[in-house]
Structure 1
Amino acid sequence: MTTGEERRSGRERALDYLRTVVLSDPTVEGQFINEQAIATEVGVSRTPVREALLILSSEGLLQLVPQKGGYVPPLSSREIRELMQLRGVIERHAADTLKSGAETAEVMQAVLDEQRALVADVASTGRDFIDLDRKFHQVLVDAAGSSLLSRTYDGLRERQVRVGVAALDAERERRSSVCTEHDAIVKAVRSGKAAAAHKAINAHLEKTLAALLSA
């Protein structure tokens, strides 16, 4: 019987691996992607890997250099600022339009509880924490009930994870601060007051931006 993994095209598998594993790793910045290494890891030929790189290049996630392949440029301070600005626009809009503040806050609280558990876990990695961080904010965005908005926010994933992991690896204490800031967002969302949610979201993103620029 053919499994779901086998039914996925080689390009889809390579694209997923590049997005979730390679491009979310801070150490890949400033490096060229080894096509053969990716092909071997995914279990495909180099052709679908090249196709995946073309897609990622069209999305601005890497640059294709003749004779050398895919290059992952470091995110500039301007790009990081723009990333945080876009996050703010989307998250504040979600806070304005979500269907149920109480239900949304309950789900966000559950994710926050997982994050707090990681703060005390010395074996946890920055990637573990940031994966939950993305989940926390995605819950808020998804609660707005707009598939387009959710897809747009999810499209920021690789950049968010990469810069987020780098910041946490540079400053482990940031984990506790993030949980405190997330707690304020949960309380504001639960209250149903958009102005309070905006204030909490803005405060969190401003502190996150400061941490990212100092990493």
Structure 2
Amino acid sequence: MNATRIAPLALYQEVAERLRQRIFAHELPPGTWVDEQALAAQYGISRTPLREALKVLASEGLVTLKPRRGCYVTEISERDLDEIFSVMALLEGQCAASTARRAGDGDLVRLHTIHDELEKAAASNDIDGFFEANQAFHQELQRIANNRWLTQAIVDLRKVIKLSRHHSLFIDGRLQQSLLEHRVILAALDRRDEAGAEAAMREHISSARRALARIASTRDEAAA
């Protein structure tokens, strides 16, 4: 058996993942029309699994299916970001509170290890490294909280946020500010302070949104 072959039932899932990564990399920028015929030819598949893949991405909010007009990569507006980050603050705040309640000593050791990577990345102004460690930190919180529905909701919203063309860490001073926010979150977790961890996480998420808003404001001023 060829281990590289994609099982027929999983074909649309593999196609969805390939398209998802192209969207996140902005190879397919927001607003782009998805040429089904060209993609099917490129991947060497029929249009049936491609359409199933697009339905999956539509359910995640990454593409928009428009009757009689086709499929487009979703364009995310500033209002969308306001609404998404508001929900994210609630969900991730709840996740942090649950982590403070459930975390064992070993869990806190792992969180401190990840946080050390944040400190190192910030010290060298390594934005990519900081971003990866930040993702790992939030994922570890979700693992400790152990609520699969909460985790899935957070993961789905973070996918949509990736449609934004900008990243808050590129704002001057944002990396250091984010690091300080992580220190506050971790300190609350060390104290097993549920309310403190929740409040700190909500502020962390809201702060990221404010940074993105500053990027948009600067961009609009430059275009004026």
Matched residue, 1:10? 11
- Structure 1, unpaired ranges of 5+: none
1:107 corresponds to which letter in structure 2? R
Matched residue, 1:206? 206
Matched residue, 1:184? 184
Whether the aligned pair in 1 keeps the contact of 2:89 and 2:205 (CA below 8 Å) is: yes
CA distance in 2, matches of 1:47, 1:4: 21
The percentage of aligned residue pairs carrying the same residue is 26
2:72 aligns to what SS in structure 1?
A: strand
Matched residue, 2:81? 80
Seen in structure 2, the aligned counterparts of structure 1 residues 5 and 92 have a Cα distance that, compared at 3 Å, is farther
CA distance in 2, matches of 1:76, 1:113: 35
Count of residues in Structure 1 that have an aligned counterpart in Structure 2:
210
2:48 corresponds to which letter in structure 1? T
Seen in structure 2, the aligned counterparts of structure 1 residues 196 and 146 have a Cα distance that, compared at 3 Å, is same
CA distance in 2, matches of 1:5, 1:77: 41
CA distance in 2, matches of 1:5, 1:169: 39
Whether the aligned pair in 2 keeps the contact of 1:10 and 1:44 (CA below 8 Å) is: no
Aligned CA RMSD, in angstroms, stands at 3.0
Matched residue, 1:32? 33
1:29 aligns to what SS in structure 2?
A: coil
Seen in structure 2, the aligned counterparts of structure 1 residues 104 and 77 have a Cα distance that, compared at 3 Å, is farther
- Structure 2, unpaired ranges of 5+: 216-224
Matched residue, 1:52? 53
Seen in structure 2, the aligned counterparts of structure 1 residues 10 and 190 have a Cα distance that, compared at 3 Å, is same
CA distance in 1, matches of 2:111, 2:18: 27
Shift of 1:147: 1.6
Whether the aligned pair in 1 keeps the contact of 2:31 and 2:72 (CA below 8 Å) is: yes
CA distance in 2, matches of 1:38, 1:138: 32
Seen in structure 2, the aligned counterparts of structure 1 residues 59 and 199 have a Cα distance that, compared at 3 Å, is closer
CA distance in 2, matches of 1:45, 1:132: 39
1:105 to 77, 99, 108: 108
Matched residue, 2:71? 70
TM-score (norm 2): 0.76
